[in-house]
Amino acid sequence: MAEAERIIGTPDTPDDDHQQTAAAGAAAGAGIAGASGEAATDGAAGRQASAAHKPGRGRRIAVLFSVAAFAYALDLISKMLVVARLEGRAPIRVVGDLLELHVIRNPGAAFSFGAAFTVIFSLIAAIVIVVIIRLARKLYSFPWAIALGLLLGGALGNLTDRIFRAPGVFEGAVVDFIAPKGFAVFNLADSAIVCGGILIVVLSFYGLDPDGTVHKD
């Protein structure tokens, strides 16, 4: 009898089965947890790599609006000064016959073009401002921040004149006062717009996009 029990062996008890099942479940759970941890680590690494690829969007946006605020303030203050002190008077020579300060009211676009389309130019300026603000959400390029800031500041400067100056809202005449010899009279807002536009052309020529990527045709 004892010999038979030795050959057959003692059968597993229910407690032994439960312990084996629990051990297997724990091992599987550890495997799943390990895989989840690796996936989370990979995801975090991917996000960090992406952030490292395009850092500092907030700083670029701050640059954009700082440049815009500076250009706008400079244009606004200069117009207030020349209207108060120079309008209605003889032109003032700054550099001989090459450059004068001569205040005029311009109902047209930059450099006195298109005087018959004041309302249209006002609407275009408003659209440009909205587009630039929307574009700022994906801005990662410092040079583009400067270019768009110049455009924004210049557009705001001339749009302020069109809204608040006579003869009426969106029909106001822009104050121009910089008069080079043999050239149209303009203001600092016009200068900011032109400089911003030239910078955008240069950036596009070199394939630099607002999101910081560089493409080659």
CA angle, 137 then 149 then 133, to 5°:
35
Query: H or E segment at 161?
Result: helix 142-164
Give this prediction's pTM.
Answer: 0.72
pLDDT in tens, 128-150: 999 999 989 889 999 999 999 99
Q: How many CB atoms lie within 10 A of CB 57?
A: 18
Quick one: tokens of 43? 């995801």
- Bridging pattern class, strands 92-95 and 174-180: unpaired
pLDDT for position 106: 86
Q: What is d(CA 99, CA 93) in angstroms, rounded to the nearest whole number?
A: 6
**Domain extents for the chain?**
13-51, 56-205
Among 17, 42, 176, 209, the active-site one is 176
Nearest-angstrom CA–CA distance, 100 and 113: 20
Residue in 17, 190, 209, 211 annotated catalytic: 190
Most confident of 99-113, 170-184, 189-203: 189-203
Q: Would you call 176 a catalytic residue per the annotation?
A: yes
Query: Is 217 among the catalytic positions?
Result: no
